[in-house]
Structure 1
Amino acid sequence: MRKTLRKGVRILGGVALAATVLVGTATAATAQDNPYERGPDPTESLIEASRGPFSVSQTSVSSLVSGFGGGTIYYPTSTSEGTFGAVAISPGFTATESSIAWMGPRLASHGFVVITIDTNTIYDQPSSRGDQLLAALDYMTEDNLTVRGRIDSSRLAVAGHSMGGGGSLEAASSRPALQAAVPLAPWNTDKSWSELRTPTLIIGGESDSIAPVATHSIPFYNSIPASAEKAYLELDNASHFFPQTPNTTQAKYMLSWLKRFVDNDTRYEQFLCPAPDDRDISDYRDTCPHA
């Protein structure tokens, strides 16, 4: 936790005015340097809250769309701050969109357009889920009349649970232009991702018996080149199913990763680097400092 030491001093009017001008100039410069910042300066309480500063609307996507099984899009209602980055999230093997639906409005309320998808069948493997995540992003940026004008198509990301997490690795491997990937308790038979170039945060569960971190999340993380930017977060005593119910620790660092790499919002760097000291995290590895 960062603390700021403040000292009370008397400042003459002219000096105070000069300081105000300098602060205003610095703020303007920061905004110019970081044009994709959305929302207020982040605090611990803000990123841990169940809802962020943006009001959220939603729209359903029919299962008749091409490339994936439909879903729900959540998006900031106001466009006064400009366009937003977008995230597609896949459920796991035999699961449906409802199992990951809580992430949609939570992330959207911080300034993202988010689609939580159903897959073509509940048995689709990671490779297919990766293709479907990309199809969902393409649908939002090209075909959906409600949100396509709200999205900056150069700022896209993927996430998913279990085989959906493995699918997010597949999607990032197929489309290096993605700005971020967040696999959650990921499962995949492919253990090597040396070709990955997308900044990737892998979140695993310490007590996962379906995709044990020793044979899934950790080998995945180790195989990704450090030049891609990567982090591995392990939730203390969490099972394979931690992403299926609201989880403050998962949401906090998932949001920070997406903000940092999709929006290039360096205000969120403080929550990722240096490594967080959080009692709910049993292991954390990363490539700090981020370039």
Structure 2
Amino acid sequence: MLKRPIVQSLSILLPLITLYGCGGDSIAEGPSAQGEYDVCEYTRGLGNSGYGSATISYPCATEDGPFPATTVIGGFTNTKNQMTWISDNMTSHGFVVIRLTPNFPFGLPSSWVSAQLAGYEQLIIENNEGSPIEGLIDEEAIGMVGYSFGGRGALFAADELGDRIKAVVAFAPFNATPSTWALPDIEAATLIAIGSEDTVAYPRNAMGQFDGLPDILSTIYAEVAGSSHLDFINSGNYHNKYKTLATSWLSMQLEGDDSYATYLYGDKHQEHVDDRWFSDYITRN
């Protein structure tokens, strides 16, 4: 296991497709700034019994495809529209994203696992039928992203799907049951990010889930200094730091773009360590 330096904190149908540009805790740069692509999206025809509703966003420059793809889902009470801060950023950097609301946003954790599984299924369906993104997804480069119950759902769904999921980003994954932290069948490179001041998901629980990942996986545990549990929805703070981590991770793991490595391991990361972004930061493999 390799540990990075630990810094102690000082404190549808085409007429229904929408075109728009994407727009702080830190200055937006690199992965946290808008990428090269404008974002198109649609909602028509995305019904699936595994989730309540969905929106797919994709780079408008479809001639540059195929693209990697990922799910994005929030946590308890959240709807898909509370996660646009990260889905739009990822799409602008060249990802197809299905943004989800679970069937029961006030329900049991299993609802988020079901939504993640259905989101993956729907991406495959959309890629192979007469949809605006037909043929646009690289089916060998699909990830899962989730926050709180959705982060737990991403980990559990990836464990179930095995090698079909290549990367996971779990934001503040809520799982207070240590007996379920070990996920022996997950094969996805996994980033777990949480705030040092999270009194809902708790860093110690996130670390337990990190330690439950197979040792052979490429993994990062990032604890952002001063951030709390509600910083992962549209109204939250610290978005630029979490965009930097998540978009860099997926770009490396799904696109194989090593130019993003500097934000996770290299000079840019060291600048962020020096700027006291993190209260803990651990990498493996």
User: What is the RMSD of the two structures over their aligned residues, measured on CA atoms?
Assistant: 1.9
**Percent of counterpart pairs with the same letter?**
29
The aligned counterpart of 2:232 is 243
Whether the 8 Å contact between 1:61 and 1:73 is mirrored in structure 2 is no
Matched, 1:47 2:31: yes
Whether the 8 Å contact between 1:73 and 1:104 is mirrored in structure 2 is no
Matched, 1:286 2:275: no
Equivalences for residues 154-233 of structure 1 within 5 A: 154-177=140-163, 178-188=165-175, 189=177, 190-214=180-204, 216-233=205-222
Matched residue of 1:241: which SS? helix
1:85 paired residue among 60, 63, 68: 68
Whether the 8 Å contact between 1:89 and 1:159 is mirrored in structure 2 is yes
The aligned counterpart of 1:147 is 133
Amino acid in structure 1 at the alignment position of 2:201: A
Equivalences for residues 240-279 of structure 1 within 5 A: 240-245=229-234, 247-274=239-266, 276-277=269-270, 278=272, 279=276
* In 2: Cα distance, 1:274 partner to 1:232 partner: 16
Higher relative contact order (CA 8 A, sep 6+): 2
1:227-276 deviations in Å (ceiling 9; x for gaps): 11110011111111111136000001100100111112222222222492
Whether the 8 Å contact between 1:61 and 1:70 is mirrored in structure 2 is no
Unaligned runs of 5+ residues in structure 2 are 1-27
* In 2: Cα distance, 1:79 partner to 1:155 partner: 17
Matched residue of 2:280: which SS? strand
The number of equivalent residue pairs is: 243
* In 2: Cα distance, 1:242 partner to 1:62 partner: 31
Matched, 1:109 2:92: yes
Whether the 8 Å contact between 1:140 and 1:147 is mirrored in structure 2 is no
1:96-131 deviations in Å (ceiling 9; x for gaps): 112212212111000000111010011333333122
